[in-house]
Structure 1
Amino acid sequence: MSEELNVEKISTEKDLDRFQKIELQPNHKALGKKCRADLPNVLYALDEIEDAEIAWDDIREGRMVLAGYLIEVGDIKVRRVERIGYAAQTFEVGKEVKVDISLVLDMSLDSALLSKGLARDIIRRIQQRRKDRDLDIEAAINLDVWLPLGCPELAEVDWAWVKAETRADPATLHSGEPDDTSEDSEVESFTVDTDTIYFRVK
């Protein structure tokens, strides 16, 4: 499943607080009735709250006062949002018994993930060229790949993966751009984010 979804690891987690946090938003209708002309002051004080978790506990315990007004549960709307670096979606499953399931993606990147993602992109492009040329599945190819300056580094283990998956022997990894990128040079290219990757299959 991990490979199908193009993710590094799949695991289950019961503590969603690791990935999500709450935001406190005003119930303008309720606060408007309570505070009237002082509503702007209350909204400003609410916006200045730094720790929403602690503030929400205080509201539920009847300890939250903003601009001289006691803030109650009905005065606030609570919204769950992802913490920085995560993306999440919650959906309902089941017919007789409804269960909420949340899918969370850790969007943080490190050099190892960038390298593996780059290798996967290179493999996909080369395999498509093998298919276009109707090559036998065991047929070896000559491969050259050029990575531009500033491109994520391709780790040795991932370059070995590229060579094994594409049956490339010999295979050479270059830094920079090829000398000839004209249409008749047999050099092709694709873009990953802002980087142009060149390759040649023979």
Structure 2
Amino acid sequence: MVREQIWRGLTGGRSVHLTDWPAAGELPHDPGLVAAMDRVRQAASAALSLRKACGLRVRLPLAKLTVAAADAALFEPFADLLHDEVNVKAVEFTTEVSTHGRFELAVNAQACGPRLGRDTQKVIRAVKAGEWCQDAEGRVIAAGIELLPGEYTQRLVACDPDESAALPNSSGLVVLGTAVTPELVAEGLAKDVIRLVQQARRDADLDVSERIALALEASDTVLAAVRAHEEFLAGEVLATSVTYGAAPEPTLFGAVADGAKVKVRLQPVQLQQD
């Protein structure tokens, strides 16, 4: 069995089946990495939710993703991961949360009423008027009165809700540049075609390393997008040549973007041996 051969090759042991299960304490454990990945996942999930709300498919690249949070430095080692997961050209991190959002305070009258008595309404009026602050020690003060934990809630509100979303527990914001340029549209179309060609490769049961000659038939708009990114497309689908125009006996009929039709025909190519 393959796993048995791998085990013996790596350890020199008699058999993986004669080995005890590893103790949990012997396994690598990095709480900091786990926490960082949780934060990265939160940012990616929020950004993808914004994409969906704006009707922007994932294969359409966008200009920039900004993550604004006090712990922005935690995200920086994973910029490439966010870049690929959200499909953006650039990722930016900043601790300046106030540039993209503001905190709103809500007083829990039921919780603070027994302690503050008549001052409860004064505090509520001050908060509604925006006359509250948070000091250097994190204490929330309204109308000159300190509010205790549980007597209020804070919520981070985005300045532009159409392009921004709050991270869990109001711990930051993600801002997604949703403006789409013709160049981004063309790149998105090329990626859609790549997906169709990869599907055609699977349908033809080609080996993952097998080269192909590729023929595409589509609208002028789609073909122009592919031509602009031909080198990238060819590298992704292992095409030694790409031709445009009528594609007889297409391997696959498909659609891209808003339903534009594409015909894909591919043929395996035998590379000459030196």
TM-score bucket (shorter structure): 0.5 to 0.7
Residue aligned with 1:134, SS = coil
Return the offset for 1:87: 3.5
Counterparts in 2 of 1:18 and 1:185: CA distance versus 1, 3 Å? same
Pick the aligned partner of 2:165 from 50, 64, 87: 87
Q: Does 1:138 align with 2:207?
A: no
Q: Does 1:107 align with 2:176?
A: yes
Return the offset for 1:158: 3.8
Pick the aligned partner of 1:27 from 101, 105, 108: 108
Conserved? CA contact 1:20–1:80, under 8 Å: yes
Return the offset for 1:76: 3.4
Q: Distance in 1 between matches of 2:176 and 2:123?
A: 35
Conserved? CA contact 1:163–1:171, under 8 Å: no
Q: Percent identity?
A: 23
Counterparts in 2 of 1:56 and 1:120: CA distance versus 1, 3 Å? farther
Conserved? CA contact 2:105–2:154, under 8 Å: yes
Counterparts in 2 of 1:107 and 1:61: CA distance versus 1, 3 Å? closer
Mapping of residues 42-121 of structure 1, within 5 Å: 46-47=127-128, 49=129, 55-56=132-133, 64-65=142-143, 72-74=146-148, 76-84=152-160, 85-89=163-167, 105-109=174-178, 110-111=180-181, 112-121=183-192
Conserved? CA contact 2:250–2:264, under 8 Å: no
**Corresponding residue of 1:196:** 259
Return the offset for 1:30: 4.1
Counterparts in 2 of 1:134 and 1:161: CA distance versus 1, 3 Å? same
Counterparts in 2 of 1:198 and 1:78: CA distance versus 1, 3 Å? same
Q: Distance in 2 between matches of 1:131 and 1:185?
A: 14
> What TM-score comes out, normalization by structure 1 length?
0.54
Q: Does 1:13 align with 2:13?
A: no
Unaligned ranges ≥5, structure 2: 1-79, 266-274
Q: Distance in 2 between matches of 1:197 and 1:138?
A: 26
Matched positions, count: 166
What is the letter of the counterpart of residue 164 of structure 2? Answer: Y
Residue aligned with 1:117, SS = helix
What is the letter of the counterpart of residue 106 of structure 1? Answer: V
Q: Does 1:128 align with 2:195?
A: no
> What TM-score comes out, normalization by structure 2 length?
0.43
What is the letter of the counterpart of residue 201 of structure 1? Answer: V
Q: Distance in 2 between matches of 1:119 and 1:197?
A: 12
Unaligned ranges ≥5, structure 1: 92-101, 173-183
Q: Which has the higher strand share?
A: 1
Counterparts in 2 of 1:169 and 1:115: CA distance versus 1, 3 Å? closer
Q: Distance in 2 between matches of 1:135 and 1:16?
A: 50
Q: Distance in 2 between matches of 1:103 and 1:123?
A: 35
Return the offset for 1:44: 7.7
Q: Which has the higher helix share?
A: 2
Conserved? CA contact 2:156–2:166, under 8 Å: no
Q: CA RMSD in A?
A: 4.6
What is the letter of the counterpart of residue 214 of structure 2? Answer: I
What is the letter of the counterpart of residue 189 of structure 1? Answer: G
